[in-house]
Structure 1
Amino acid sequence: MAELHERTREIAFLLRVEPDLSLVTTYVAYGQERVEALQRQGGFPRRTGLTSGVLLTAAGRAAYARRPEVVDSLLRAGIRRRTRYSPASSRVLASALAAAREGTSVERDEHTLGWSCIAAGVRDALGRVVEVVGVLGPSGGWRPDALGVPLRRASEQLAASLPPPSGSLSEPAPVTGP
Structure 2
Amino acid sequence: MTQAPRPEAAGLDTVLGKAVTILRAFRPDDRAVPLAELVRRTGLHKATVHRLAAALVANRLLDRVDGGYRPSGGLFELGMLASPERSLLEVAVPFLQDLYERTHETVHLGVREGHDIVYVAKIGGHRQVRAPSRTGGRMPLHCTAIGKALLAHTDDALRQEVLTGPLERRTPHTLVAPGALRRQLREITETGVAFEREESTVGIQCVAAPVLGGDNAAVAAISVAGPTGRFRPERYVTQVRAAAAGLGSMLNRRGPRDR
Task: Give the TM bin, normalised by the shorter chain.
Answer: 0.7 to 0.9
Q: Which residue of 2 aligns with 1:122?
A: 211
How far residue 62 of structure 1 moved from its aligned partner, in angstroms, is 0.6
- Percent of pairs with identical residues: 28
What's the counterpart of residue 35 of structure 2? none
Give SS of 1:141's match.
Answer: coil
Superposed counterparts of 1:17-166, under 5 Å? 17=112, 23-34=117-128, 37-38=130-131, 41=132, 44-48=134-138, 53-67=140-154, 68-102=156-190, 103-162=192-251, 163-165=254-256
The whole-number CA distance in structure 2 between the counterparts of 1:88 and 1:129 is 23
* Count of residue pairs brought into register by the alignment: 158
Report the alpha carbon displacement of residue 126 of structure 1 after superposing the two structures with TM.
1.9
Q: What is the TM-score normalised by the length of structure 1?
A: 0.78
Cα offsets for 1:24-43 (capped at 9, x unmatched): 333221002227x24xx4x5
Deviations 1:46-66 (A, max 9, x none): 1426xxx32111111111112
Alignment partners' CA distance in 2, 1:89 and 1:16: 24
The answer to whether residue 105 in structure 2 is matched with residue 10 in structure 1 is yes
Question: Following TM superposition, by how much is the alpha carbon of 1:153 offset from its aligned partner in structure 2, in angstroms?
Answer: 1.0
Q: Judge conservation of contact 2:120–2:135 (CA < 8 Å) in 1.
A: no
After superposition, what is the alpha-carbon deviation per residue over 1:93-121, rounded to whole angstroms, capped at 9, x for unaligned? 11221222120000110111111111111
Any runs of at least 4 consecutive aligned residues in structure 1 with deviations exceeding 3 A, and if so which? 20-24
Name structure 2 gaps, 5 residues minimum: 1-95
Secondary structure at the residue paired with 2:184? helix
Query: Relative contact order: is structure 1 or structure 2 higher (C-alpha 8 Å, sep ≥ 6)?
Result: 1
* Greater Cα radius of gyration, structure 1 or 2: 2
Aligned alpha-carbon RMSD (Å): 2.1
